[in-house]
């Protein structure tokens, strides 16, 4: 699959995850809608992380010949999303909340900020 196709898939999962995540963080917790949208958020974030593993733009430092430093944000997603799910299932809301906020801030806000940095494809598409 081409790099641009992977970018398209990545954006098709990460943008709705961002919108859903923002909605969930700002609205009432524990409702049926929260549970449904939360499951969708988790699935989208895991999909986003998996797609990111196949993406490499060939710029900057490489880890193991393929991965760049931004790929490090995949690790918290694949750790904290299952942690958040199982915490919610057992009623450990504190761990669930901390895990989801960590994913939202780390994978969406911080990694998203890096994706918008000058020299990155998304910056080029949006600002140049």
Q: What is the pLDDT of residue 17?
A: 98
Q: What is the pLDDT of residue 65?
A: 63
Q: What is the pLDDT of residue 57?
A: 62
Q: What is the pLDDT of residue 71?
A: 80
The widest CA-to-CA distance across the chain, in whole angstroms, is 48
pTM of whole model > 0.75?
A: yes
| 24 half-sphere exposure, CB direction, 13 A CA radius | 24
* 103 contacts 45 by C-beta, under 8 angstroms: yes
Q: Look up residue 67 and give its DSSP letter.
A: B
Q: What is the pLDDT along the chain (128 residues), one digit of tens a residue?
A: 888 899 999 999 999 999 999 999 999 999 999 999 999 999 999 999 999 988 876 565 556 666 777 888 899 999 999 999 999 999 999 999 999 999 999 999 999 998 888 888 888 888 88
């Amino acid at each position: 699959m081409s790099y641009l196709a992977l970018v398209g898939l990545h954006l098709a999962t990460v943008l709705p995850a961002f919108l859903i995540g923002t909605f969930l963080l700002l609205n009432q917790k524990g409702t049926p809608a929260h549970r449904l949208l939360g499951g969708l958020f988790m699935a989208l974030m895991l999909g986003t992380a998996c797609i990111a593993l196949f993406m490499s733009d060939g710029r900057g430092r490489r880890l193991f010949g393929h991965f760049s430093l931004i790929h490090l944000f995949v690790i918290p997603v694949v750790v904290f999303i299952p942690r958040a799910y199982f915490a919610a299932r057992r009623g450990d809301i504190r761990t669930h909340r901390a895990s989801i906020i960590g994913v939202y801030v780390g994978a969406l806000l911080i990694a998203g900020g890096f994706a918008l940095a000058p020299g990155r494809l998304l910056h080029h598409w949006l600002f140049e």
